[in-house]
Amino acid sequence: MITQLTKKQEQRMQEVIQHWLSVGRSTQPIDREQATASITAMYRAIGKDAPAVLFFSSPMMCILAWGALRSAGVNRGQLRDQLRDQLGGQLGGQLGGQLGDQLRDQLRDQLWGQLRGQLRGQLGGQLGDQLRGQLRGQLGDQLNNYCGGSHWCAWEVFYDFCNEIGVNYTKDQRERLYLWMTQSQHCHWWFPYDGIVLVSERPTTLSVDDRGRLHSTETQAIGYSDGWGIHAVHGVRVDADIIENKASITVERIAKEQNAEVRRVMIELYGAPKYLLDSGAKIINHDQAGILYRKDILDDEAMVMVRVLNSTPEPDGVMMREEAIAVFGDAAKAAINAPEDARFKEYMIRVPPGMRTAHEAVAWTFGLDAEEYHPAIES
Amino acid sequence: MKTYRQGDVLIRQVNEIPSQAKAKKNVGRIVLAYGEVTGHAHAIAEPQAKEFTMEQADNTVRRFLEVASGADVKHEEHATIQLPPGFYEIIQQREYTPEAIRNVAD
């Protein structure tokens, strides 16, 4: 019974995770020969002849191509479920008696869980949702018949790693596992039909944030050579023009947006302080520390920000002394004592929605209660 | 107990430095905080000053300062702040980030 990993195996597990994350996030063209060989081997293993393997630029193009083939009279059965049922392999049963429950749970959590979450969840899931949103009717049904390739590698990588640390499988199981591992290594999304397989190329651009979520505020977060792809900010899918044409984000458009997550992205890209001022946020307090604004937002927590003036004049400041005094009043003490031609910078900081005064809000930004925050000197 | 503020750094006088805090080696200059964009720094160039750090349960780190003979906190864009001899906690300004949205109606 294997109950714990050696130091070396722990390290090896991290390498395995990193390897498969990089395969799953790869933007390199696929090796078509290897991809064809790995899929053909799976077809043969379920007793089918070698299929015609056709390559397309993106998962979307695979589905559109299938629509075209079907219009031309090609009608073939979907094979995904058969591949999964016949080659799936009952490996779970082999772990009992060989692998301690605790270690099994640890590996499920760390290895399987991480690869599944980062690849199948963050990438595969987003692609599937995007396709489902854009396709209707029978073409949409093709999404019941795809294999996610490296995006779905977590299952086989988990069982392969168990094998590596000493869990034994039958020869037959080992061979099936090898088939899945090989296709994960070489394939992106593919759509298996009787006699025909449509294989998608990998994306040509892919960008994720530090939590592995699709993320780009400049361009597509995932994009294929044919132009199809997804715009997303921190894993929230948005319309292309929100990213590509930021001027299309207006206060009115933000107000109309029904999805609270998309609305947050729009506000972030518009600039939260600018949004607050442009959308007519309420001033809920104005004291010596600054001005506290509140904007109620449908289905989301209120946005509360404190607007303050920097205490030291700066040559590249955008606010003239007079203007600073006009806007900030009592909170412009630095400006009141400054020379006539002094320039200042202002800034806004978001604070928790429960803040009642600007002073309390500024104190919060330093982790203090209002009564604790009374700087003797500010510069 | 006085507090001093220079831009986004608050320097708060404390009675003592917690015993669990660990001293860091002073390499001649203690940087209290770097500016996000400009690379400017809030810093103390005082060989006698000592910086201490204390890890919290939530993985954040509290930072303390001991200046036996006082110190000047300098920054390229702010007026210098003179700290009298004493113990201080260094607090960097933070911003509120809302929780993940739950039950979003699509």
From A125, A198, A183, select the one nearest A150 (Cα to Cα): A183
Q: What is the pLDDT of residues A24-57, one digit of tens each?
A: 999 999 999 999 999 999 999 999 999 999 999 9
pLDDT of residue B103: 43
Chain B contact for A379 (CB, 8 A cutoff): yes
Helix (H) or strand (E) holding A340: none
Report how far residue B87's alpha carbon sits from residue B98's, in angstroms, rounded to the nearest whole number: 34
The DSSP letter of residue A111 is: I
Task: For residue B78, give both structure tokens.
Answer: 């702010």
Round the average pLDDT of chain A to a whole number and report it. Answer: 93
pLDDT of residue B100: 65
| The residue to which tokens 């073939």 are assigned | A76
Mean pLDDT (whole number) for B82-101: 87
- High-pLDDT (> 90) share of chain A, %: 75
Q: What is the pLDDT of residues B14-64, one digit of tens each?
A: 999 999 999 888 777 888 887 666 678 888 888 888 899 999 888 888 999
From A235, A240, A244, A264, select the one nearest A127 (Cα to Cα): A235
A332, A334, A337, A342: CA torsion to nearest 10:
-100
Least confident of A126-130, A195-199, A306-310: A306-310
Residue A262 has pLDDT above 70, yes or no: yes
pLDDT of residue B36: 61
> Of B27 and A214, which is predicted with more confidence?
A214
8 A C-beta contact, residue A52 and residue A196: yes
8 A C-beta contact, residue A305 and residue A348: yes
pLDDT category, A337, cuts 50, 70, 90?
confident
- Nearest CA-CA distance, residue B8 and chain A, Å: 9
Chain B contact for A129 (CB, 8 A cutoff): no
Which of B10, B14, B80 has the highest number of chain A CBs within 10 A, making it the mutation to test binding with A?
Answer: B10
Q: Determine phi and psi for A168, rounding to 5 degrees.
A: -95, 140
CB burial readout A17-32, b (16+ within 10 A) else e: beebbebbbeeeebee
Report how far residue A175's alpha carbon sits from residue A191's, in angstroms, rounded to the nearest whole number: 22
8 A C-beta contact, residue A50 and residue A43: yes
Residue of B nearest to A237 (CA): B106
Residue A379 has its nearest CB partner, among B81, B94, B95, at B81
Mean pLDDT (whole number) for A299-307: 90
